[in-house]
Amino acid sequence: MTWRIILQLALSGLSIGSIYALVGLALVLPFKASGIVNFAQGEIVTFGAYLALILSGLGLPYLAVVPLVLIGAAALGMVIERLLIRPIVNQPEFTLVMVTFAIGFIIKAAIRLHWQDNTFSVEAPFVGPPLALGALRLNPAYLVFILSTVAVVAALFVFFGYSRFGKAMRATALDPIAAELMGIRIGSVFSAAWALSTMLGAFVGLLLGPVIGINPEIGHLILKGLIAAVIGGFSSLGGAVAGGLLLGLLETYAGAFFGATFKNLVPFGVLILLLLLRPQGLAGASSARRA
Amino acid sequence: MRTRVLLILLGLALLAGLPLVATSYYLYLAELAMINVIIAVGLNLLSGNCGQISLCNASFMGIGAYCSALCTTRLGLPTLISLPASVILAALLGAALGYPARRLSGLYLALITLGFLELVGFVLEEFPDYTGGIRGLKVPRPEIFGFSLQSNRLLYFFVFVLTVGAIAVGYNIQRSRFGRAFDAVRQSPFAAQALGIPVARVKMIAFSLNAAFAGFAGGLLAGVVGFIDPPEFGILTSIQHITFIVVGGLGSIAGSVAGAMVLTALPEVLRGVQEYGELVYGFILLGTLLFLPRGLVGLVARLEALRSAKPPAKEPAYGAP
Amino acid sequence: MFGKRLRGLFCVAATLFVLSGQTRADEPGVTPDSISIGAFGPITGPAAYIGLAGRDGAIMAIKEINAAGGINGRKLSMTFEDDGHSPTKALAAVKKLIDQDHVFMIFCVAGSNGTLGTIDFVRENGRVMYVSFASAPGVTWPFARNMFRGGTTEVPRYGELYAEYLHDYLNATKIAILNGREEYPKNEGDALTAQLKNWYQIAPVKRAEFNIGDKDFTPQLLEIQGADPQVIAIFGNPAEAAIAMRQAKELGMNQRFFVGPTMVDQGLLSAAKQSAEGTSGFALIPLLPTSSNPEMKSWLAKWKQEYPNLPAGRPNTFDLLAYADIFVVADALKRAGKDLTTDKLIAALEATHEYRVGAIATPRTFTKKHHIGNLRLQAMQVRNGEWEPVPFESKRESDILKRYE
């Protein structure tokens, strides 16, 4: 166990953690904006990656693909909200959760039918030879992940904290009836919240696709994203990012010291411990949802 | 009410008479459906009546399946001991989960059950010397007093009788003071506490009962299929179990039965569309969730109201049988 | 409250039960002008690429055979059922095919999980089951008259070939193994380890595992780097292997890779790109669909005509395996004669000796003692971004047939 190995592990832990941070963000955002945990978010990430695949297959360069994917994802989010979520928004939580799950299931099945289980790749400008930092190596893509995560968090922070629409969104999530009484058009707020969520999910897919490959199963990352979000305290954006990075480090070191089997166990062990001892996570408020 | 009872008896008679006309394929399907009915009845007590979400129901099924399988193959115990053993083990582990989970609800409860699911999967896969690991485990047919149920008909009858028993037990629990406590906890934990109901203990009991049903079903599954492996008891299976009760009608025993049977039959019916099966299943599920908010039970109630030409006074009471 | 009524039902049901009897048809699935084959495999879920390719390859072969006149005046028909890669569903599929659809024989294009769920039922039932892909030992061991294994070979055989190739051909004595924690990759890793010990008395310098779905392999790669191997054997899926290969190169590891048969195809190359250069592995088929061999080119043209709308990555190994295996079955059906029975088919299959439909397939041999059709794999290496055959011939005698003597 040399210093080089320890530091390289730290670097790769933060790298994989940046992926978890992004996915965690993509889960916390819809929760913050509309109070719903969107179990389809994993498949929205997949959708983003495949949409990028289609567009770059048409010959468009990556930088042109990015805004198109975001627009496409926003449209998808608004359609889902209007047609599928709004009619049942008063149903018990179970039904809503099952509906988001069914939506994800359908998206994945449709993708699998058309592209089958091949792993595709797309070109992106941030994929290249590894950067050398002394004896350590870092894939530049991970740097882009971290920077994007920070940028997204900053943008959302400004949006929720200082813009009128962002504040309207927070108000609606907190208490829709009161918000409506205050004159907020909650219909538009719901649509926008979903559009924002799906845009973020697809953005994650856009970034990840060139690095980890595009196949129908990449949505599975949502599990790790969930844990990242819980570690950070589910309603905190910055917390989700910190949670993701922490999770990546924990996992990597556990894998190095104890082997792959523990690598899988550590995230869920951490999850259980947190839920038992401190369900509000590291950054959440003390009055977390308890019985 | 009369018509309902008659319908139930008619259904039972049809099921009982199935071995006369059915091939081993249909008998097998019916057995799987009945096992799923047991699952649904148990899950309904926890999630439908008591309102606690659980993503690890498949784990308890797996615990029951592996316990029964190992008792029979490793310890040489007869089925009439290994099945109850699986129920007891599952119930104990259900309580073990229910205890720390008693203070959690909603998303956090879902996550801790997810953690439990992963833990169980880990145990099943990492000890292949005991559990067969990822390669799976072969399980012999159940046997009663030394007589092995090799005949498809006898096996069917065995499962049928046990399923009817499980439904009866579930029904009685729902009607008992436990069931009423479950409902109270779901509707308002604060009010329940104020009324003197020990909410935490009630939740633990709900988890334990749910686990017992699931473990029982798992033990039967092992014997019916003859081969089990860890992927059978993963997150997708847990979600499938939730669909049984949501589509059937939350809180209702008849709903659990109907939901489990319909959703077990559906993938088989969809064999004709070959690889589009998953997509069609997803759409049917989505459609049911959107248009039948109270599940199949709610649909029946609405049809009954239409038939009697009375405007439906209100939606059927949550938790009607 | 239910007591009395329930007891009454019980009595009625029990009586009816006892009074019913059972009939069995003789030689189902064979009519004067058709032979029906039942097939199953995963066409939904993450393993769908196996079943879909198996089904499509098989159907293409059947269409060709029927167009050429069929078998002794009969046309072949296929009924395909999904098994979702689950033993529970696979058993349902097989029960439907045998008890409901009354097929003559079963052609299995499922993975090991699904196949294992059905073995007991089929053994007891007696219909011939020809397993094209699954490598689980339970298919052919213990020996059963009606079970046959076609395209893939026994897992210990993989171990034998891998060990011989790595040690005798690549002259490597320091071998590291990185395998996924699913059944098949784990089996491959175990088989290689066992055979290295058996034949050469060496152990892998490092063995590490990864989880399916992992996106980062740095811990495992650093461990392996520390052991300084000459070759790194990777067993798993193309998606993970591609990331691992790329990360290994990033960490400055220049060792060559060695992969299992599921990764010897275009999928790995398009995902791993440069990092895969120099990788070697064994293919289950003598020629890949991308080969420039004229026979493969004309087969590919036929396939593209039959299936014009399928994505890149098809046809894959499984299309070819299933196609070749249908011809093996058809050849045996022909020799079994006009008066077709299960026993005659078994005898004809057991007389199959080095049969193959063309250069695109590996020869199959069955005997009365063992039903393992294929013992050969084709060694290949990635040169200039393409898989090229390597002139490696196994010289050591296989041990696995010994237990069938």
Phi/psi-derived region of residue B198, left when phi > 0, alpha when psi is between -120 and 50, beta in every other case? beta
With beta carbons under 8 A apart, name residues in chain C contacting A263.
211, 214, 219
Half-sphere exposure of A74 (CA within 13 A, CB side): 9
Residue A272 lies in a domain: no
Q: How far is A265 from chain B (nearest CA, A)?
A: 7
Please compute the mean of the pLDDT values over residues C237-264 and round it to a whole number: 92
pLDDT for A289 = 43
Q: Which of B74, C368, B107, C387 is nearest to A28 (CA)?
A: B107
Q: How far is B27 from chain A (nearest CA, A)?
A: 30
Please compute the mean of the pLDDT values over residues A193-214 and round it to a whole number: 91
Domain range enclosing B208: 22-267+277-293
Average pLDDT score, chain C: 89
pLDDT for C262 = 86
Q: Which of A37, A40, A29 is nearest to A101 (CA)?
A: A40
Total count of domains within chain A: 1
Q: Assess contact for B25 and C92: CB atoms under 8 A.
A: yes
b or e along B59-70 (b: 16 or more beta carbons within 10 Å of the residue's beta carbon)? bbbbbbbbbbbb
Higher per-residue confidence, B9 vs B90: B90
CA distance A27 to A234: 9
C-alpha A271, offset from chain centre: 17
- Any CB–CB contact under 8 A between B79 and chain A? no
Tokens at A38, concatenated = 């969107």
- Any CB–CB contact under 8 A between B105 and chain A? yes
- pLDDT tier at A261 (50, 70, 90 boundaries)? confident
Q: Which helix (H) or strand (E) holds C137?
A: none
Please compute the mean of the pLDDT values over residues A109-129 and round it to a whole number: 88
Residue A16 lies in a domain: no
- Any CB–CB contact under 8 A between B287 and chain A? no
From the list C2, C48, C88, the residue facing B232 with the nearest CB is C88
Over 50: is that where the pLDDT of A207 sits?
yes
Contact B134 C121 (CB under 8 A): no
Domain range enclosing A139: 27-219
- E strand intervals along chain B: 137-138, 143-144, 147-148, 227-228
Question: Burial, C321: exposed, middle or buried (Cβ in 10 Å; 0-12, 13-18, 19+)?
Answer: buried
Residue A241 lies in a domain: no
- pLDDT tier at B318 (50, 70, 90 boundaries)? low
Q: How far is B172 from chain A (nearest CA, A)?
A: 25
Question: Burial, B75: exposed, middle or buried (Cβ in 10 Å; 0-12, 13-18, 19+)?
Answer: exposed
Contact A116 C311 (CB under 8 A): yes
pLDDT for C391 = 92
Over 80: is that where the pLDDT of C314 sits?
yes
Contact A289 B126 (CB under 8 A): no
Over 60: is that where the pLDDT of B128 sits?
yes
In one-letter notation, the amino acid at residue B225 is: V
pLDDT for C18 = 46
What DSSP line would sit under B221-255, residue for residue?
Answer: HHHHHSEE-GGGGSHHHHHHHHHHHHHH-TT-HHH
- Any CB–CB contact under 8 A between A291 and chain B? yes
Q: How far is C392 from chain B (nearest CA, A)?
A: 32
- pLDDT tier at C17 (50, 70, 90 boundaries)? very low
From the list A114, A212, A259, the residue facing C311 with the nearest CB is A114
Residue B317 lies in a domain: no
Residue B75 lies in a domain: yes
Q: Which of C215, C237, C240, C310 to mutate to test the interface with A (most CBs of A within 10 A)?
A: C215
Please compute the mean of the pLDDT values over residues B279-284 and round it to a whole number: 91
pLDDT for C375 = 86
- Any CB–CB contact under 8 A between A37 and chain B? yes
Over 50: is that where the pLDDT of A43 sits?
yes
Q: Which of B183, B290, B318 to mutate to test the interface with A (most CBs of A within 10 A)?
A: B290
Over 50: is that where the pLDDT of A291 sits?
no
With beta carbons under 8 A apart, name residues in chain A contacting C314.
116, 118
Residues 241-270 on B with a CB inside 8 Å of C are 267-268
Q: What is the pLDDT of residues B148-168, one digit of tens each?
A: 888 888 899 999 999 999 999
From the list C43, C45, C91, the residue facing B225 with the nearest CB is C91
Tokens at C133, concatenated = 């892909």
Q: Which helix (H) or strand (E) holds B5?
A: helix B2-21
pLDDT for C24 = 42
Tokens at C288, concatenated = 């890949």
Cα-based distances in Å from B126 to A260, B53, B120, B122, B132? 11, 27, 10, 6, 9
Average pLDDT score, chain B: 88
Q: Which of A108, A118, A143 to mutate to test the interface with C (most CBs of C within 10 A)?
A: A118
What DSSP line would sit under B138-167, residue for residue?
Answer: E-PPPEETTEE--SHHHHHHHHHHHHHHHH
> Which chains are adjacent to chain B, needing at least 3 Cβ pairs under 8 Å?
A, C
Q: Quick one: closest CA in B to A92, which residue?
A: B293
Please compute the mean of the pLDDT values over residues B114-129 and round it to a whole number: 88
Q: Which of B64, B46, B173 is nearest to B113 (CA)?
A: B46
Q: How far is A101 from chain B (nearest CA, A)?
A: 9
Tokens at A205, concatenated = 């897919």
With beta carbons under 8 A apart, name residues in chain A contacting B281.
105
Residue A11 lies in a domain: no
Phi, psi of A185 (to 5 degrees): -80, 95
Q: What is the pLDDT of residues A146-195, one digit of tens each?
A: 888 889 989 988 988 898 888 888 888 788 788 888 888 888 888 888 89
Express as a percent the part of chain B with pLDDT over 90: 48
Total count of domains within chain B: 1
Over 90: is that where the pLDDT of C345 sits?
yes
Over 70: is that where the pLDDT of B61 sits?
yes
Higher per-residue confidence, A236 vs C55: C55
Contact B239 A93 (CB under 8 A): no
Contact C209 A259 (CB under 8 A): yes
Please compute the mean of the pLDDT values over residues C74-100 and round it to a whole number: 95
Please compute the mean of the pLDDT values over residues B167-189 and round it to a whole number: 91
With beta carbons under 8 A apart, name residues in chain C contacting B10.
none
With beta carbons under 8 A apart, name residues in chain A contacting B115.
268-269, 271-272, 275
- Any CB–CB contact under 8 A between B31 and chain C? no
Cβ-based contacts under 8 A for chains A and B: 106
Contact A119 C271 (CB under 8 A): yes
Please compute the mean of the pLDDT values over residues C50-72 and round it to a whole number: 95
Residue A164 lies in a domain: yes
Phi, psi of C81 (to 5 degrees): -125, 145
Contact A272 B115 (CB under 8 A): yes
Q: Assess contact for C57 and C319: CB atoms under 8 A.
A: yes
With beta carbons under 8 A apart, name residues in chain C contacting B274.
43, 80, 82
Residue B5 lies in a domain: no
Contact A291 B199 (CB under 8 A): yes
CA distance C198 to C295: 39
Q: Which of B225, B253, B276 to mutate to test the interface with C (most CBs of C within 10 A)?
A: B225
pLDDT for B312 = 55
> For residue C73, what is the DSSP state?
T
Q: How far is B57 from chain A (nearest CA, A)?
A: 15
Contact B136 C2 (CB under 8 A): no
With beta carbons under 8 A apart, name residues in chain C contacting B164.
6
pLDDT for C21 = 38
In one-letter notation, the amino acid at residue B214 is: A
Over 90: is that where the pLDDT of B86 sits?
yes
Q: Assess contact for C276 and C257: CB atoms under 8 A.
A: yes
Q: Assess contact for C153 and C164: CB atoms under 8 A.
A: no
With beta carbons under 8 A apart, name residues in chain C contacting A132.
none
Q: Which of B14, B23, B125, B135 to mutate to test the interface with C (most CBs of C within 10 A)?
A: B135
With beta carbons under 8 A apart, name residues in chain A contacting C239.
119, 212-213, 215, 217
- Please, which residues bridge with residue B137 across strands? B228
Higher per-residue confidence, A271 vs C23: A271
Contact A234 B107 (CB under 8 A): yes
pLDDT for B314 = 54
Residue A265 lies in a domain: no
- pLDDT tier at B11 (50, 70, 90 boundaries)? confident
- Any CB–CB contact under 8 A between A271 and chain B? yes
> Which chains are adjacent to chain C, needing at least 3 Cβ pairs under 8 Å?
A, B
